[in-house]
Each structure stands twice: as structure tokens, then as C-alpha cells.
């Protein structure tokens, strides 16, 4: 057995946890989700979910990793022999996510390159779906590999697996120490430019204007919880794995608060930046904000290139900064997602980190080629939908019910966290994990199944 790796510094761990949390979800998912679910009013369910599920589960996962010092499967096995499978389920979800998350980063690399001469032209939608992806005619057909995606995809895998082979302290920690501060600087430049564009205020107004009519609707609450889980990388084995490398003398609760609030802070910043830019676009075209709002692939690769075309000056520079921010946010998250199975495989089969990076990462890299084909977007949508609907909510629900009610570990975990942390946790934490989160997630699952059946 190799000796267990450790983070070099507290800041190294916190930056890596923030690096995992801050990802594509913050930049292209949050702004649209918030807007569609009540704008300013969305902050109520969102903050509720952060304080009763996000941060409490983060504290729980940090405690589990720190106490049992294992990847997710090993941690669950140490808690109870029969629960190892849950750790593997989380690892499998992470594995699937990594196969397509890597492809989105590859697109962002391509688009960073296209920024140099605004290669997407005037018809950005036609460019993405026509010239660039040349989507296969029949949905579900692969078509051939897209060279513009394939080459950057290889670059993504080389970077990520290269970082992972170097290990926790010399690989993951250093990568996050470089990429996260760079991301913050790049993103701040974008946001400052965004809010000073003509029309920015229209976008900000649309984003923050509260619409309370839907505040009690289950879909709004489901959206808030879904966003918190996805965005904080919880219930995915990720945070358990990262905290298993904490030295014995470490803080847990304070680190969880720092991670949670930094992630939400970045998310808010992204909302402001994206909507200020959308406001500029709507104003310059003389249309309503609703006509330009989008999320996901449409926002990043169709709407943004179109807006960059309209920028008053330094178009290429801002295009590059925007896509670079996606690349940096994405890479640090992808590293954390892959580390879950690198750690899981090397512990289970007692093989070196290098071997598990090559086997696990290699297999994911090969499978990711599916999404780099002309029809890849179709498969990407399907995989993303399935994982988000059933992976996130179901795993979170099983995790909290198991720990709180079946194995009854909350008391033990609470004392463990309190013994070593700056901030003590009390009944707020126990009630959040034992009662509030299971009820909300249970209801979420019920609604999802009902909607899928009818």
C-alpha cells in the first residue's frame, strides 16, 4: 500500500474544494435557472437550500472523508460493510459525468481559439450546429468525429490526467493554486466590462426583479436544490475523496462554510456578468430580454459569440477571456470528478495512482469520443438529463437517509467535526440533514418520477 497522500496546506485543500464546486454549472447553469425560477425571488429557496442542504452535506462529507480516510467506496465500507455499493454508485455517476464534461471543455478550448479571429461569423447558431458540429441528420446517429472537438479533447485529457498522475499535493493542489486565482481575475475583468456596457442595467433589472408568484411552486424548490447539489459537487463522492487527504489536524466546518459561500459568491458574480451582457445584447437589438436568455450550450456557444460580435471594442480579447474562464472553471471541476474513480480504483485493487489514472482516465477518455462526434450533442443532452434527474437527487436522498436514519451516525459525525473545527455545529445541522433534506429530496424524487410517468 502506498502511504496516503495529503494536502500540503489548508489553503490548498480549500482551493481544490472551491475549484471542484466552481464549474460550468456556475457560469452557464445558475444565471438561467435563477431567471426562470423567479429572478430575485429565487434567492429565497436558493439560500434555504444552501443553508439546510448544501453546507450541512458538505460538512457531513468532509467529516466522512476526514474520519475514514478513504475514497467514497472505502469510506462507505468502513461505515458499514454492506454500504460499499453506494460509494461505487456515486463513483459511476462521476465517471459518466467526466465523459461528457470533458467534451464541453474541449468546445470551450476550440472557441477560445476561434476568438482570435471571431471565426464563428455572424450566424453563430448556424456555425455551431452547421459548420462546426454538422449534427448527424438523424438524432441518435454518431456521424464522424469532429476534428475541432477531437484535438482539444485530447488536450483536455492530457492536462487532466497529467495533473492527476502527479498526485494530490504536487498535482491537484498546484493546479488549483494556479487556475483558481487566474479564473477569479479573468472573471472579474469580464464582469467589470459587462456592467459598464450600454444596456447592462436592463439585464440586471431582469435578473434581480423578484417574481413571487411561483415562490411556493415545487418546481422552483426542486430547481434550487438541484442547483445547490450540482454546483457544490455534493453527493458525488467528490468531496468525500478530497477531504480524505486532509491531515489529522484540520478544520472541517469552517472550511465547508468558506467553500459554500465562495461557490455561491462566484455564482452570483456569474449571474451579474451574464445578465449585464444579455441586457446589452437585448438593448442593442431592440428586443426584450426574454428573447436572448439561454442556458447551457446555447448560452455559451451561440448567444455569447453573437454578443461578442457586438462588443464596442476588443472583441477578440473578451471572447478569449470568456471561453478561457469556462476552460479554467471546467478543468478544476473535471480533475475532482476523475479523482473519485482514480482513488476508488487504486484502493480497491491495490494498484498505484499512475495505473488507476491510466485505466480509469483512459477508459473515460475513450468513451468521451462518443460525445465528440457530429451527433455528440444529442447524446450529451441525454446523458446530462438522466444524470441530473436521477443521479443527483437519488444519491443525495440515499446518502442522508442512510447516515441519519439507518446507520444513525449523525451524533458521531457531529462530535468528530466539533472536536477539530473552529465553528461548532449543533441542532441546526442535525435537523437539516436528518429531517429537512430527506423531506425535500424525497418530495423531489416523487415529483420527478411522477412527471416521468405521466
Q: Which is nearer to ligand PFF, 6 or 20 (CB)?
A: 20
Query: Which stretch in 16-24, 276-284, 411-419, 445-453 sits in contact with ligand PFF by CB under 6 A?
Result: 16-24
**Residue 358 contacts residue 183 (beta carbons within 8 Å):** no
Q: Which is nearer to ligand PFF, 25 or 260 (CB)?
A: 25
Q: Could you tell me the smallest distance in angstroms from the CB atom of residue 232 to ligand PFF?
A: 6
Q: Which residues sit opposite 145 in a β-bridge?
A: 373
Q: Could you tell me the smallest distance in angstroms from the CB atom of residue 25 to ligand PFF?
A: 2
Contacting residue, 14, 17, 18, 24, with ligand PFF by CB under 6 A: 24
Query: Which stretch in 22-30, 108-116, 124-132, 164-172 sits in contact with ligand PFF by CB under 6 A?
Result: 22-30
Q: Which is nearer to ligand PFF, 107 or 236 (CB)?
A: 236
Contact positions with ligand PFF (CB under 6 A) in 63-122: 97
When asked if residue 21 is in the footprint of ligand PFF (CB under 6 A), the reply is: yes
Q: Could you tell me the smallest distance in angstroms from the CB atom of residue 160 to ligand PFF?
A: 13
Whole-angstrom distance, CA of residue 24 vs CA of residue 50: 18
Binding-residue total with ligand PFF (CB under 6 A): 11
Binding track, positions 216-235, relative to ligand PFF; x by CB under 6 A: --------------xx-x--
Contacting residue, 25, 38, 260, 438, with ligand PFF by CB under 6 A: 25
Contact positions with ligand PFF (CB under 6 A) in 315-354: 333
Q: Which is nearer to ligand PFF, 25 or 39 (CB)?
A: 25
Query: Which stretch in 23-31, 244-252, 350-358, 444-452 sits in contact with ligand PFF by CB under 6 A?
Result: 23-31
| 130-168 core/surface letters (b: 16 or more CB in 10 A; e: else) | eebbebbeeeeebbebbebbbebbeebbebbbebbbbbb
Contacting residue, 236, 242, 318, 429, with ligand PFF by CB under 6 A: 236
Q: Cell numbers 436514519 correspond to what residue? A: 405
- How many Cβ atoms from other residues are within 10 Å of residue 202's Cβ? 19
Q: Which is nearer to ligand PFF, 232 or 425 (CB)?
A: 232
Q: Which is nearer to ligand PFF, 281 or 328 (CB)?
A: 328
Whole-angstrom distance, CA of residue 156 vs CA of residue 306: 25
Contacting residue, 19, 23, 87, 167, with ligand PFF by CB under 6 A: 23
Whole-angstrom distance, CA of residue 35 vs CA of residue 267: 13
Query: Which stretch in 20-28, 248-256, 272-280, 341-349 sits in contact with ligand PFF by CB under 6 A?
Result: 20-28
Q: Which is nearer to ligand PFF, 365 or 383 (CB)?
A: 383
Chain residues binding ligand PFF by CB under 6 A are 21, 23-26, 97, 230-231, 233, 236, 333
Amino acid at each position: 500500500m502506498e502511504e496516503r497522500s495529503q494536502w500540503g496546506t489548508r489553503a490548498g485543500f480549500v482551493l481544490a474544494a472551491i475549484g471542484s464546486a466552481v464549474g460550468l454549472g456556475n457560469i452557464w447553469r445558475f444565471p438561467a435557472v435563477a431567471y426562470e425560477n423567479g429572478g430575485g425571488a429565487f434567492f429565497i429557496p436558493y439560500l434555504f437550500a444552501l443553508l439546510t442542504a448544501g453546507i450541512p452535506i458538505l460538512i457531513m462529507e468532509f467529516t466522512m472523508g476526514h474520519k475514514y480516510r478513504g475514497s467514497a467506496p472505502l469510506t462507505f465500507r468502513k461505515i458499514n460493510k454492506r454500504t460499499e455499493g453506494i460509494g461505487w454508485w456515486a463513483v459511476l455517476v462521476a465517471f459518466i459525468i467526466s465523459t461528457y464534461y470533458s467534451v464541453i471543455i474541449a468546445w470551450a478550448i476550440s472557441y477560445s481559439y476561434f476568438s482570435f479571429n471571431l471565426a464563428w461569423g455572424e450566424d453563430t447558431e448556424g456555425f455551431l450546429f452547421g459548420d462546426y458540429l454538422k449534427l448527424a441528420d438523424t438524432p441518435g446517429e454518431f456521424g464522424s468525429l469532429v476534428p475541432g472537438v477531437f484535438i482539444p479533447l485530447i488536450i483536455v485529457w492530457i492536462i487532466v490526467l497529467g495533473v492527476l498522475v502527479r498526485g494530490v499535493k504536487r498535482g491537484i493542489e498546484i493546479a488549483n493554486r494556479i487556475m483558481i486565482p487566474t479564473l477569479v481575475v479573468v472573471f472579474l475583468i469580464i464582469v467589470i466590462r459587462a456592467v459598464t456596457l450600454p444596456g447592462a442595467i436592463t439585464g440586471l433589472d431582469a435578473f434581480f426583479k423578484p417574481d413571487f408568484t411561483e415562490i411556493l411552486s415545487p418546481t422552483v424548490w426542486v430547481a434550487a436544490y438541484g442547483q445547490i447539489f450540482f454546483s457544490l459537487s455534493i453527493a458525488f463522492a467528490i468531496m468525500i475523496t478530497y477531504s480524505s487527504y486532509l491531515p489529522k489536524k484540520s478544520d472541517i466546518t469552517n472550511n465547508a462554510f468558506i467553500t459554500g459561500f465562495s461557490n455561491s459568491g462566484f455564482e452570483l458574480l456569474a449571474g451579474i456578468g451574464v445578465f449585464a451582457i444579455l441586457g446589452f445584447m437585448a438593448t442593442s437589438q431592440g428586443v426584450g430580454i426574454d428573447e436572448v436568455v439561454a442556458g447551457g450550450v446555447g448560452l455559451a456557444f451561440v448567444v455569447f459569440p453573437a454578443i461578442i460580435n457586438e462588443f464596442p471594442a476588443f472583441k477578440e480579447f473578451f471572447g478569449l477571456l470568456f471561453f478561457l474562464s469556462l476552460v479554467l472553471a471546467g478543468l478544476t471541476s473535471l480533475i475532482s470528478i476523475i479523482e473519485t474513480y482514480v482513488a476508488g480504483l487504486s484502493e480497491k485493487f491495490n494498484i498505484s495512482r499512475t495505473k488507476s489514472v491510466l485505466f480509469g482516465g483512459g477508459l473515460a477518455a475513450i468513451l468521451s469520443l462518443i460525445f465528440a462526434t457530429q451527433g455528440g450533442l444529442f447524446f450529451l443532452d441525454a446523458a446530462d438529463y438522466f444524470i441530473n434527474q436521477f443521479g443527483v437527487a437519488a444519491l443525495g436522498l440515499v446518502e442522508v437517509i442512510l447516515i441519519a436514519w439507518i446507520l444513525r451516525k449523525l451524533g458521531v459525525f457531529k462530535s468528530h467535526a466539533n472536536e477539530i473545527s473552529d465553528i461548532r455545529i449543533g441542532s441546526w445541522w442535525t435537523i437539516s440533514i436528518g429531517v429537512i433534506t430527506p423531506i425535500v429530496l424525497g418530495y423531489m424524487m416523487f415529483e420527478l418520477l411522477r412527471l416521468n410517468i405521466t
